[in-house]
Amino acid sequence: MNEGVQLSRLTTIGTGGPARFLAEPRSVAELTDALVFAHRRKLPVVTIGLGSNILVPDEGFDGVFLRLRGELATVSVEDTAVIAGGGAPLAVCLHKARAASLGGLEFACAIPGSAGGGVWMNAGAYGGDIAGVLRRALVVDCDGPAWRTPGELGLDYRRSELRHGQVVARAELALRHRPSEAIKATVAELQTLRKEAQPTNRRTFGSVFKNPEHELTAGRMLDACGLRGYRIGGAQISPKHANFIENAGGATTADALALVVAAKRAAHEHFGVTLETEVVMVGDIGSDTSAGSSR
């Protein structure tokens, strides 16, 4: 258990203060022990995964951050299933699937996160999502591990019913036979689309908002509001895709949050739509992002 680890080094956006504790469990037993440690001290718990899709307060986090290692970050193939530790990058899962000629996970080439994080938020892209391939997940809390089906996880569009302190330690992904060359071709096509449309060579946390039930996506809506390139402090709404916030140099979490508020306000004023954030807000930093909403 490490203390005072600077979280800006572990997040893809590059912001955030120190964590009171950082635990890096390598087994289900060690993960359970870390969760019991936090529970007994009444400390909040957050799993950081690969550091994407998360915003951490600039002043830090008075709790326990988890980063899964060891057997909790391995990937194997059994028949037509990929068995992934919660800390395993989805990119590695896809690589293993392609090597075994197993298709169905190609959409994951656009998701820079872990298998556990993918389950936790039902990550998806290009028409596919984790709910479409997940057989079951091993969820650990301070009472120990338990397997849960997609129905028991409550998977929906970019969300599940899991909460902080409930950690996906393992996921079983049910795939199907497909020639590896066909998988490679699909992945190449999707990666080209992603590089053309998204700021893949910039520091971001991924998509800011979920797409609303509207004819326009969140990105197109914010683009229509004239927000591409809009900057506050060291953070800016990406000039390439308006549903991304970039660290343009020396950004703070406060800068990024100010952009989130400005974007929500603009979408509500121009379209009457209340955008919902996709990024996970740690602590109470998201309490002010409802500005401009109808609630």
Nearest 5°: the CA angle 152, 155, 159 is 130
Bridge partner list, 231: 236
Across the chain, mean pLDDT equals: 94
Catalytic residue among 67, 98, 158, 170: 158
158 in active site: yes
Q: Is 207 a catalytic residue?
A: yes
Whether the CB-CB separation of 102 and 77 falls below 8 Å is answered with: yes
Q: pTM of the predicted model, to two decimals?
A: 0.89
From the candidates 8, 114, 207, 238, which is the catalytic residue? 207
User: How far is 170 from 119, CA to CA, in rounded Å?
Assistant: 10
Least confident of 20-24, 187-191, 220-224, 284-288: 284-288
Instruction: Give CA–CA dist 172/47, Å, rounded.
Output: 19
E strands along the chain, which residues? 2-6, 18-23, 45-47, 54-55, 61-66, 75-78, 81-85, 102-103, 124-125, 128-129, 134-141, 144-148, 167-174, 176-177, 231-232, 235-237, 245-247, 280-281
Q: How many CB atoms are located within 10 Å of the residue 142 CB? A: 16
Instruction: Identify the band that residue 292 occupies on the pLDDT scale cut at 50, 70 and 90.
Output: very low
Average pLDDT over residues 140-155: 96
pLDDT over 50 at 294, yes or no: no
Residue 295: what pLDDT? 22
3-class DSSP state of 72: helix
Whats the size of the chain, residue-wise? 295
Residue 212's pLDDT is what?
A: 94
pLDDT digits (tens, 9 = 90+) for 65-99: 999 999 999 999 999 999 999 999 999 999 999 99
Average pLDDT of 150-168? 95
136-165 mean pLDDT: 95
Of 172, 171, 177, nearest in space to 104 by CA: 177
Asked if the model's pLDDT at residue 116 lies above 50, the reply is yes
The CA distance from 168 to 4, in Å, is 24
Residues 6+ apart with CB under 8 A from 50: 12, 89, 112, 113, 114, 117
pLDDT confidence of residue 283: 83
**35-44 per-position pLDDT tens digit:** 999 999 999 9
